[in-house]
Amino acid sequence: MKTVWNITLKGTQIIGLLFLFVFSACSQPNAKKQKDMIFNKLTKEEEWVILHKGTERPFSGELLNNDEAGTYVCKQCDAPLYRSEDKFDARCGWPSFDDEIKGAVKRVSDADGRRTEIVCANCGGHLGHVFEGEGFTPKNTRHCVNSISMKFVPAETARNSTTEAAYFASGCFWGTEYHFMKAPGVCATIVGYMGGHTQNPSYREVCTGTTGHVETTEVLFDTAKTSYEELIKLYYETHDFTQVGGQGPDIGSQYQSVIFYVNDEQKAVAEKYIKILTDKGYKVATELRPAENNEFWDAEDYHQQYYEKKNGTPYCHTYRKIF
């Protein structure tokens, strides 16, 4: 845990993708309408805070002094919200974090305009408020969160989860993500850049075609609810895998069809379906590359869940049944 007395923070240690995204009910921020969600049963005290925007008494929350490694998830819907490495002691009486898991928290101005409320982006449950400019950490941000709004998942529990990662590139990542984020068993999706030689590239840099990256979607899925094979089918049924150096009207090496496999099992499944498609007469242009040698870099916030935010549909990714 960070403290306000040590402004120079230690480098974040990556525990692993599964650690960040495990939770008992698989859910994708903004992927479903709230009316269709199944929520956890809340106590009257939890309802007062989460549903009616109340505040628990300072220094009373059970997670205030928790310094274990793990993930903080929403009490109402189990969506992951914060990592333990982003928690610090602000001496304010409530758990404090200087960053959230990308796309997990939504900011809403209070009615009086004096403060900014934070809610779970997945279910809308009240978390607390966010403050900036206080100087507690180099990120200069403090998410002040009610303990009662969260549950804590220890890292060891997360490592034993059934969550697995997959990486797919099939042209503009807006359209790729659009289909995967709606697929059964998918827990979370993030769009980004993979396969290049530039560290932490920007969208503008990738679009020059000089960084070697392709627009890629990271898919976190629950193996108890779906399979990598089902994701591969969806991948091939939602883009033109015969096109080289582009996808539809988007031309450039950053739009190449690529599968980044994380293990030999994923590679074998991908090879199986490339053969099936080849036997059907398709000239498959999809490249297979190991994810281990290709770091994934998150894209800018405005690219995340793009069509969900714009209430639109992809212009070059349409579903057609093949298998």
Task: Enumerate the active-site residues.
Answer: 144, 172
**DSSP E strands: which ranges in the chain?**
2-3, 70-74, 80-83, 87-89, 96-97, 105-109, 116-120, 126-132, 141-145, 150-154, 163-170, 186-194, 214-222, 246-247, 250-251, 257-261, 287-290, 296-298
Task: Please enumerate in sequence order all residues whose Cβ is within 8 A of that of 125, keeping only pairs 6 or more positions apart, or say none.
Answer: 50, 51, 74, 75, 76, 77, 119, 149
SS3 of the chain: helix, strand, coil, percent, to 5 = 25, 25, 50
Tokens standing for 261? 């496999």
- Report the C-alpha gap between 123 and 60 in whole angstroms: 25
d(CA 70, CA 75): 15
Q: Please report how the helices 228-236 and 173-180 are oriented relative to each other, as an axis angle in degrees rounded to 10.
A: 130
199's CB contacts (< 8 A; 6+ apart) are 297
Question: Which segments within 226-320 are labelled E, that is strand?
Answer: 246-247, 250-251, 257-261, 287-290, 296-298
SS3 for 11? coil
The closest alpha carbon to 189, from 171, 160, 167, belongs to 167
Question: Exposed (0-12), middle (13-18) or buried (19+): which is 304, by Cβ within 10 Å?
Answer: buried
What's the Rg (C-alpha) of the chain? 21
Neighbours of 112 (CB within 10 A): 6
